[in-house]
Structure 1
Amino acid sequence: RKFLKSLIRKQPQDLLLVIGTGVSAAVAPGIPALCSWRSCIEAVIEAAEQLEVLHPGDVAEFRKKVSKDRDLLVVAHDLIRKMSPRTGDTKPNFFQDCLMEVFDNLEQHIQNPAVLQSILRLMERGTMVLTTNYDNLLEIFGQQQGKPMESLDLKEKDKVLQWARGHMKYGVLHIHGLYTDPCGMVLDPSGYKDVTQDPQVMEVLQDLYRTKSFLFLGCGETLRDQIFQALFLYTVKNKVDLEHYMLVLKENEDHFFKLQADMLLHGIKVVSYGDCFEQFPEYVQELSAQICKQRSP
């Protein structure tokens, strides 16, 4: 298997991993809600129906939207709104109860920890990690390995600054929040006005996009994610000077090469890990092993 030399010759501390649903799907295939945005939203709707926190008419309406709509983030956002106070506040809300129902006993569902092990090895050597996922599989696994893992979200300004400056070796930044924290659940940038309008926080976050190589793992939708865009994509100029990497499934050659060309404009090199999802864990393990072999300069 060939790897891009420009990627495997990076020092671990020069990388920032962006973890998407693909990682959770590989680690805990038994939980459908972890496999994709669509299945997560479907599972939340089902939980809402069982817990009776969503009107049956709304349940039917959202099911229809999930099957038809391409922009699932908008659907998810509407779903959160529907289960939150009409004032627009994020708490108290029933959405969190639904997520807790969906993600119950996560640690019992870790079937393929090898991907998490690879990520931890990189973290040990200074790689930073942020995720769009609501689950904390990585932190659970790291704690089992005796690592002082810490979850943080964008509402915790001091911690975010600490993390962004590299002072939180085992910190995992959840840019949408974490299912265990009712206040941190956010799907659109308006929920993070405090962050996006705070020049100090925005500067350290954008500095990361300019100075680190982001490596997107299991991220199908991340670049269309409004929060990710607000934090990094739309605010950092001269993207072509950057060098980021994205691992993707190559299902269709034309689509793959078009994506490759499009992403170069964002300073992102698209790399295929194979033509079926089963190849993803092995690729991540090999890739991380290659990077960990690098001697510090």
Structure 2
Amino acid sequence: MDSLEKTTHRSEQKSRKFLKSLIQKQPQELLLVIGTGVSAAAAPGIPALCSWRSCLEAVIETAEQLDVLHPGDAAQFRRKVMKDRDLLVVAHDLIRKMSPRTGDTKPNFFQDCLMEIFDNLEQHLQHPQVLQSILSLMDRGTMVLTTNYDNLLEIFGQQQNRPMESLDLKDKTKVLQWARGHIRYGVLHIHGLYTDPCGMVLDPSGYKDVTQDPEVMEVFQSLYRTRSFLFVGCGETLRDQIFQALFLYSVPNKVDLEHYMVVLKESEDHFFKHQADMLLHGIKVVSYGACFDHFPGYVQDLATQICRQRSPDADRADSTTLAGSGCQDCAKRKLEENGIEASKQLRPSGTQASRGP
């Protein structure tokens, strides 16, 4: 193996290192926050899925093609997309521009542009490994919310015979059921979904009924206090006004929490500064590598490690199943491993006790 191969191998090995505190979490202790990186890895053929910037650029181009945005406005928004740091504000302004001047965001042409961009998503699914990893975590109780407009995860899950459900913040009943863990295959889209006729919202005022509802907010705050949030494929989520309103504003002592964020490490100085800053929010930042190509493999390996964790309930269930099965020797070994006197646990009762061989 030459030096270049050794360096590459070491880099790949390093990218597969995991924090023990993360991989020892039970899947049901996690809430997965997925961003554009997940969709970009699964369907690289759609540039609009790659990032907020790419999505806004695609919206502007499509708006021009559909003649729903004045060329002068399009040019102005292109400059903002290239120069402005806060793309969420740019997106909000773009939605407003494509809406009636009534102070409301509905109806608007923004959704029409997204429907054009995301048409036939399932035909562009090339690398479903990341989605499969997320689905494996959901199978074991991990909750999922997303800032994405697309429903690639739901499409893939339905193909795998899971009863996937896309949830919207405007449906209080569904939101509460999801937040309380009663909709295992529900994906909460905090910005809405491109197929939703109600349109998209990028600031908390669009969800004032949600953010001013004590019952809903208490459930969300409880989630942030009691579950470990795992941010995957996210860039600007913590600066997202809706995410802040739902989970961050009224949670005290965030530094005492333990959340995780998986990021690309392009610059060591920027990465370690970001890591230090996020610890103030109770978030441990870890790197999947210095190249986006490492992302799918990292997520796969990480999900595999977490899914290996067995809950105490599962172990008790196994003991019960074994004790009630026909394989008495296996059950006896299992119980003896757990320090239980097998003769007492496996003694038959009732009519079976007097029945001969």
The amino acid across from 1:226 in the alignment is: Q
8 Å contact from structure 1 (residues 22, 217) kept in 2: yes
- Mapping of residues 15-54 of structure 1, within 5 Å: 15-54=30-69
TM-score, length of structure 2 as denominator length: 0.82
**Aligned residue in 1 for 2:97:** 82
Determine which structure has more spread, i.e. the larger CA radius of gyration.
2
> Is the aligned partner of 1:271 residue 2:286?
yes
Once residues 118 and 226 of structure 1 are traced to their aligned partners in structure 2, the CA distance between those partners, rounded to angstroms, is 28
**Aligned residue in 2 for 1:64:** 79
**Aligned residue in 2 for 1:129:** 144
Deviation, 1:65, is 1.1
> Is the aligned partner of 1:206 residue 2:228?
no
**Aligned residue in 2 for 1:168:** 183
SS in 2 for 1:277: coil
Once residues 279 and 84 of structure 2 are traced to their aligned partners in structure 1, the CA distance between those partners, rounded to angstroms, is 27
8 Å contact from structure 1 (residues 28, 109) kept in 2: yes
> Is the aligned partner of 1:194 residue 2:209?
yes
The amino acid across from 2:219 in the alignment is: V
- Mapping of residues 177-192 of structure 1, within 5 Å: 177-192=192-207
**Aligned residue in 1 for 2:169:** 154
Deviation, 1:153, is 1.2
Relative contact order, higher structure (CA 8 A, sep 6+): 1
Q: 1:296 aligns with which of 311, 322, 326?
A: 311
Q: Across the two proteins, how many residue pairs are aligned to each other?
A: 297
Structure 1 residue ranges, 4+ long, deviating more than 3 angstroms after superposition: none
The amino acid across from 2:100 in the alignment is: P
1:33-66 CA-to-partner distances (Å, cap 9, x unmatched) read 0000000000000110000001111111111111
8 Å contact from structure 2 (residues 107, 199) kept in 1: no
Deviation, 1:89, is 1.9
Once residues 172 and 189 of structure 2 are traced to their aligned partners in structure 1, the CA distance between those partners, rounded to angstroms, is 13
> Is the aligned partner of 1:242 residue 2:257?
yes
Give ranges in structure 2 of 5+ residues lacking alignment: 1-15, 313-357
SS in 1 for 2:68: coil
The amino acid across from 1:67 in the alignment is: M
The amino acid across from 1:136 in the alignment is: N
**Aligned residue in 1 for 2:154:** 139
**Aligned residue in 1 for 2:273:** 258
Deviation, 1:184, is 4.5
Deviation, 1:90, is 2.4
Once residues 159 and 88 of structure 1 are traced to their aligned partners in structure 2, the CA distance between those partners, rounded to angstroms, is 27
1:152-206 CA-to-partner distances (Å, cap 9, x unmatched) read 1111111000000000000000000000003141101110101110000000011
> Is the aligned partner of 1:286 residue 2:286?
no
Deviation, 1:265, is 0.6
Percentage identity across paired residues of the two chains: 87
TM-score, length of structure 1 as denominator length: 0.99
